[in-house]
Structure 1
């Protein structure tokens, strides 16, 4: 990397150059459309292929492939191409036997007929008991179940996917029974072009039923179901007898499909998904917390600024007087306030990692505003965050090494290596343990070996070299000059009362603010983890030990990342503030 010495490069142009190169390569390999740019037009009679996705449950947090249950399946199961984000989310998109024809209703189509053995019955019962939902996709739109709202007339919320089945008492039998949803009434909503007569799909809904189908005579392909009238609008003639899940029980899977013209345009078809019946998003709590934080931050800022201006005026007035005045307040520790802290190398590592996180979040938000991360690009958010994290490694190396050089550090290569491996290494260990547990449960959420190799390549093949490049550039720059000189002998910190430590630092002659600024702001991650624990015991109904371990494991990773980014923001705020106030007063 010696050739970099002759170039006056900063991390921003290097990063932009790398991003342009990656975008060119991605464009040549695989492209995706933005919402509203490339809709698909269908003529009457065109084939519509329904794809099946993972089975999900809020009780277990473990996704499974659709065909992990003995559902009707085609002769050859084909996997759809999935991006990195989809794989990490546990998505497994495959073909199915549900095939429609555009704007041609179909009534009581038989998909297949199954006879359950003991294993199949047990698997269905387990998924029904854990409240698993079946997810399907048509024209990139996920399947939803419309649920009428009780507080508003003619208004619906939507639930992603339909439940595998239900359980309960039936016909006065005290024993709890399991029933499967074996009849699906699909509704495909379309927006028709008045000129070309072509149509675009703008909605995909379903109403599931549990029906014990009956038929006369021996079963064959031409057998007519007596519980199904293909000439009636409501094809299920008798749904009073649900289909029980039990060994040696026969199950016939059927479906209807109806087409409804809609005024919703293709560009607005995702708007309905904003009304999803998702109890896991607490928008009111989020907005309320943000308002409280902004209000309290404003009050604290006003108080501190008022006090600060008063102190600065007082100190500068004393300097103009002829008589020597004794230094007081935060000016008293000016000779020690920029003294390097204990474990300064570790602080540099975490500050650099926090800068990497902050850059990733900032650019991700910009992409989201521009529409690159819309719901139509499934898995795009996670993919973008991973790639941005990798490329932001150049800023991590730059920030950590700049701070390291200010602390009189000389071995920038060791600092770069620590910055590149400390945080990802800790997260990787936790992630591998959790992934092993998911593998043990045979869940589709387990990351395949090929994806593992891709993640390792992104880490060591791209992120680590970029961290070294950023560190090299940062170390070549002149060291950051402090506004005041540091004494050779550390000043003794007076013993502090319990109420003065550690909230009021500099005013109580305690100049050890470096780590305190990072840990104080980063401690908000503790609140996040405690709230996640409270939410687990009050809202979730997770009963399996593995699911609980996965929940707390992933929340631990999220809280750790939150600690790093908030700690870095707090550190830089204090760093800028401290440099500003000491450069505003006259010190001999």
Structure 2
């Protein structure tokens, strides 16, 4: 009785902790009335470009002065970032904006900033390309609020416009207005527990409403005479000649005043743990599409799996039964009754198939005269060839090893996401945790690669370990390094700092490589290769020609279309999140489950022959070819990305993602097919 009570108390405690856990490593941040709240500025991004820029480095922004101190933060201080944040282009800095919990401020002056002709040109370009700014308060990105079509719910779209382009009514040059005033709306809720009883509050929403206000008609404090009057915006026009056109030969300096308003509003219906729901209302509205796509995928894959399973089961069981009843039991290998062939070929048998059909154990001996071609038929004909080491096995082994490394990483990310450890509040968490899991999985990579390498008869296991450890990291680093040169020339925050590149190399050299070496040593020397139920023939068997759709290239493409055809609806939402919304907030884990089921179906449908090693790997990863083709189509039909560097980044990043996906799914296909082949041929082992 007492033990049950104790177990119940422990369970309740764990449930309470699980409910309170939201941001990894952080507790809920509460604020007293009047307590300062830091506002962080991050970067600007656009749907029309893959290049991002640090907000504080833009030509038209007020540089932080360092005179404002908000708690432990001083304005102008750069916040330490994790690896994921650096890779996604974040550059977070404490701003000069002053916010205090519960204190409204209708108008407040920030600064005046002067820009030259080059700054004006650059500012216009950013506005023309539709760049959005990302600010952060209490780990929430500043958002533009919208309402659903039926006006029943409000949702957030992260970011806000830095300016507006107004086309000329007479067909001339457009006028560009810079948003130099922002209205900040901080929505709060009473803090849970004892903090709420003390009057503390938590932030549950952060809305930004930008506005362009002319620099004229200002008070001595730099504030506009009428904060509500936006009829005259802050036009980026420095000087005009008598014709009203810009005179680029004159000094083109322009002084821009910046102001802001702050309002705090209570949101009684929104709890702190649900504050990110506002960013996903748009996705929730399409949840029926998500579930319909997933259910449709599961139904199709289930029917296909059932059909294939019935066919395989009846074929294999019938062949095994006939083989045991009338074939192998009567034609067991008997050294006393075997004879050596006089010639590798007989009259009427140019390929020597009859000798090979009699050579059940692969040692070159022929069984008794009772065995004929009818004794061994169907899939049993290639029993001596299915475990023959493939051509270029020294390359396949590292690919399989690297695929298991990616598989471990993907599984870990999926589990951590399902338990809420990885969530949108953990900024850069997916990339950072994924990199950690990938490096740790070097043990599995070396282990599986070395065992497969030994199956293929490899002798120099250290070289295999080096190739395995360098395959994926080398591909990623080489591509990122070359792309980084292009991005660095654009002065974009997407460019990785030199220190980050050095840290990545050190991570590979001192952690990843030793782990792969340890796993490879254990897999090759201690575990060894997997044993096979059938001994491979010395001479490859001649396989009759197949129909066109059974040939390697056609089979691989057709098989890869099956998983792609089922997941392409979800891919549309993924692409929209990554390249249209630019938020990266996509958390539909049913998609991952559907992909796993479809991949299993694809593996079951692999055509088995003596080339199955490479075929199973290529079929498993062939859907990546269709995904990349869909990505190219999506680029030209749905996106408005302009510029050579942006297009180069898009296609290179897409290629890397598809290559890693193909490597992972190809490994799943290889391992599943290997287990399947070992299983069915283990039933016909010769005595």
Q: Is 1:479 aligned with 2:529?
A: yes
Aligned equivalents of 2:533 and 2:632: distance in 1? Answer: 45
Determine if contact 1:393/1:463 at 8 Å carries over to the other structure.
yes
1:466 Cα deviation from its structure 2 partner: 0.6
1:276 Cα deviation from its structure 2 partner: 5.4
How many correspondences in the alignment?
545
Question: Structure 1's 378 and 127: CA in aligned 2 closer, same or farther, altered over 3 A?
Answer: same
1:47 Cα deviation from its structure 2 partner: 0.7
Determine if contact 1:333/1:506 at 8 Å carries over to the other structure.
no
- For residue 411 of structure 2, the aligned residue among 355, 359, 362 is 362
Q: Is 1:256 aligned with 2:261?
A: yes
Determine if contact 2:606/2:619 at 8 Å carries over to the other structure.
no
Q: Is 1:142 aligned with 2:141?
A: yes
Aligned equivalents of 1:90 and 1:289: distance in 2? Answer: 37
Structure 1 counterpart SS, 2:97: strand
1:240 maps to 231
1:536 maps to 635
Moved more, 419-428 or 62-71: 419-428
Question: Structure 1's 310 and 359: CA in aligned 2 closer, same or farther, altered over 3 A?
Answer: same
1:41 maps to 30
Question: Structure 1's 428 and 85: CA in aligned 2 closer, same or farther, altered over 3 A?
Answer: same
1:582 maps to 681
Question: Structure 1's 553 and 135: CA in aligned 2 closer, same or farther, altered over 3 A?
Answer: same
Aligned equivalents of 2:295 and 2:641: distance in 1? Answer: 27
Unaligned segments of structure 1, at least 5 residues:
1-31, 229-235
1:72 maps to 62
1:344 Cα deviation from its structure 2 partner: 0.6
Matches within 5 A, 1:49-448: 49-69=38-58, 70-76=60-66, 77-149=76-148, 151-169=149-167, 174-193=172-191, 194-215=196-217, 220=220, 222=221, 225-228=224-227, 236=228, 238-247=229-238, 248-263=253-268, 264-275=270-281, 283=290, 287=294, 290-291=297-298, 292-293=300-301, 295-319=303-327, 324=371, 325-448=374-497
1:169 Cα deviation from its structure 2 partner: 3.2
Aligned equivalents of 1:160 and 1:71: distance in 2? Answer: 20
2:613 maps to 514
2:651 maps to 552
2:569 maps to none
Question: Structure 1's 566 and 279: CA in aligned 2 closer, same or farther, altered over 3 A?
Answer: farther
1:327 Cα deviation from its structure 2 partner: 0.4
1:547 Cα deviation from its structure 2 partner: 0.3
Question: Structure 1's 267 and 36: CA in aligned 2 closer, same or farther, altered over 3 A?
Answer: farther
Question: Structure 1's 86 and 408: CA in aligned 2 closer, same or farther, altered over 3 A?
Answer: same
1:285 Cα deviation from its structure 2 partner: 9.3
Aligned equivalents of 2:284 and 2:127: distance in 1? Answer: 20
Deviations 1:415-437 (A, max 9, x none): 11111112322222111111111
Question: Structure 1's 334 and 299: CA in aligned 2 closer, same or farther, altered over 3 A?
Answer: same
2:517 maps to 468
Question: Structure 1's 119 and 298: CA in aligned 2 closer, same or farther, altered over 3 A?
Answer: farther
Q: Which has the higher contact order (CA 8 A, sep 6+)?
A: 1
Which one has the largest radius of gyration?
2
Moved more, 425-434 or 82-91: 425-434
Question: Structure 1's 296 and 176: CA in aligned 2 closer, same or farther, altered over 3 A?
Answer: farther
Structure 2 counterpart SS, 1:584: helix
Aligned equivalents of 1:48 and 1:509: distance in 2? Answer: 64
1:246 Cα deviation from its structure 2 partner: 2.0
Aligned equivalents of 2:605 and 2:290: distance in 1? Answer: 38
TM-score, normalised via structure 1 length: 0.87
Determine if contact 2:164/2:176 at 8 Å carries over to the other structure.
yes
Aligned equivalents of 2:654 and 2:551: distance in 1? Answer: 31
Query: Root-mean-square deviation (CA), in Å?
Result: 2.8
Question: Structure 1's 169 and 335: CA in aligned 2 closer, same or farther, altered over 3 A?
Answer: closer
Aligned equivalents of 1:344 and 1:189: distance in 2? Answer: 60
Moved more, 162-171 or 313-322: 313-322
Determine if contact 2:606/2:673 at 8 Å carries over to the other structure.
no
1:410 Cα deviation from its structure 2 partner: 2.1
2:548 maps to 498
Q: Is 1:489 aligned with 2:539?
A: yes
1:279 Cα deviation from its structure 2 partner: 13
Determine if contact 1:319/1:586 at 8 Å carries over to the other structure.
no
Determine if contact 1:316/1:586 at 8 Å carries over to the other structure.
no
Question: Structure 1's 285 and 388: CA in aligned 2 closer, same or farther, altered over 3 A?
Answer: farther
Question: Structure 1's 412 and 321: CA in aligned 2 closer, same or farther, altered over 3 A?
Answer: closer
Moved more, 442-451 or 191-200: 191-200
Question: Structure 1's 506 and 56: CA in aligned 2 closer, same or farther, altered over 3 A?
Answer: closer
Unaligned segments of structure 2, at least 5 residues:
1-20, 67-75, 239-252, 331-369, 557-603
Moved more, 390-399 or 483-492: 483-492
Determine if contact 2:223/2:259 at 8 Å carries over to the other structure.
no
Question: Structure 1's 508 and 524: CA in aligned 2 closer, same or farther, altered over 3 A?
Answer: closer
Aligned equivalents of 1:500 and 1:86: distance in 2? Answer: 46
Determine if contact 2:327/2:375 at 8 Å carries over to the other structure.
no
